[in-house]
Amino acid sequence: MKLCIIGSGYVGLVSGACFAEVGHNVICVDNDQRKVDMLQAGKIPIYEPGLEDLVHQNVAAKRLHFTTSTEAGVDGSDVIFIAVPTPPQPDGSVDLSYIEKVAREIAAVLKPNQYRVIVDKSTVPVKTGEKVADTIRRYNKAGADFDVVSNPEFLREGCAVADLMKPDRVVIGSNSERAIALMQKIYEPFMSPVLVTDINSAELIKHAANSFLALKISYINAVAQICEASGADVEKVADGIGMDRRIGRNFLNAGIGYGGSCFPKDIAAFIAISDQLGVPFNLLKEVQRINATQRDRMLAKIREALWVLRDKKIAVWGLTFKPDTDDVRSSVAVDLVCDLVAEGAIVTVYDPKGAEKAKEFKLVEGAVIVSSPLEAAADAEALVIATEWKEFAAVDLDQLRAKMHTPLIFDGRNLLDPVTVRSFGFTYTSVGRS
């Protein structure tokens, strides 16, 4: 099929590459000429395992194309996906100006003899599809024939290619049988369960799903606080809970809290949506509160051990919000570094993939970013593990002990084994484990 994806950010680029991989012809549209030039030259602006090879293969096969022209994308495609940013506003609600702008651009180039399906791929509040349809009708003077569909993405950074190539489910929200048939044809090669709903239900599914996963994280973090007070082990408690098939073990990992470009934004948006609908979602407000306290609790543990943080050299391993990505947006690790710098600590930081993005966006000014874990730990009076990269778990503890001034480790992700670490002479503090 001929597909257009407007927006070549994380969701748009991964979706475009994967759609091309199964045989569709994809035009990715982006208004950033510099990004389009990069992609046409084979340079990938984000790190995602497997994505670079996928893009190169499908560009070479002439199934994946990049342009700045919305008109070229709409004219040359049967289905147009909108995958532009939906950033949060100060009150937690979603800024839909990018969506509205793209809807107007599509409306301006839709022709009367073309049937097109317009797909909301971005994470949007319920009823956005209705607004997109109204906007296109308002700004298209030719009376073009189109339908709007909600098709939320469920990509996890770090394994997004696998998530799209072998999805748990595909959600298609529409009341048009014609549009549903086209969407089912697009996803047929992926051999995935397909859930067809009305458009409002599809839009709610994404916010409800992400909020539930965040709830699981905050739940186990609340349990971790009880474990610390009682001497229990949160890992064992989580294992026992997770063995119940109704619950499952995923997202029951205690730590310094969730972050990233999705969970904080989506929870805030769902709270705002619920408030606007007159049905306050107070449970999610508590999820937010618990998440915020986890970083504060770790900082309190560091202060208790070091007393005064000013002029203390502290190493931090990790800047990205999770491993296997270079995404440092709304990262708890970044926030923790900033907290330490604000208290006057001398902070050295290492991250395998996130350092350049952190420098580019000036997120950890006042900290020194170095090129290896052991370089960060040199002469440090404490080490904080803020992101659970595999290479941190594989570090040579003898070498680490020799590098550090004081053998103190604060493991914000419960990455290391307490017994093993302590056997090398470290004082080790984690989350919910004694």
How far is C-alpha 139 from the geometric centre of its chain's CA atoms? Answer: 33
Task: Reduce the secondary structure of 252-299 to three states and give it as a string.
Answer: CCCCCCCCCCCHHHHHHHHHHHHHHCCCCCHHHHHHHHHHHHHHHHHH
Show which residues are catalytic: 262
Cβ distance 251 to 216 under 8 Å?
Answer: yes
User: Which residues are registered as beta bridge partners of 148?
Assistant: 118
Give the C-alpha distances (Å, rounded to integers) separating 49 from 145, 166, 204, 258.
39, 15, 29, 21
Place of tokens 């022709």: 111
Distance CA 173, CA 150 (A): 5
Task: Reduce the secondary structure of the chain to three states and give it as a string.
Answer: CEEEEECCCHHHHHHHHHHHHCCCEEEEECCCHHHHHHHHCCCCCCCCCCHHHHHHHHHHCCCEEEECCHHHHHHCCCEEEECCCCCECCCCCECCHHHHHHHHHHHHHCCCCCEEEEEECCCCCCCHHHHHHHHHHHHCCCCCEEEEEECCCCCCCCCHHHHHHCCCCEEEECCCHHHHHHHHHHHHHHCCCEEEECHHHHHHHHHHHHHHHHHHHHHHHHHHHHHHHHCCCHHHHHHHHHCCCCCCCCCCCCCCCCCCCCHHHHHHHHHHHHHHCCCCCHHHHHHHHHHHHHHHHHHHHHHHHHCCCCCCEEEEECCCCCCCCCCCCCCHHHHHHHHHHHCCCEEEEECCCCHHHHHHCCCCCCCEECCCHHHHHCCCCEEEECCCCHHHHCCCHHHHHHHCCCCEEEECCCCCCHHHHHHCCCEEECCCCC
Considering only CA atoms, give the Rg of the chain. Answer: 24
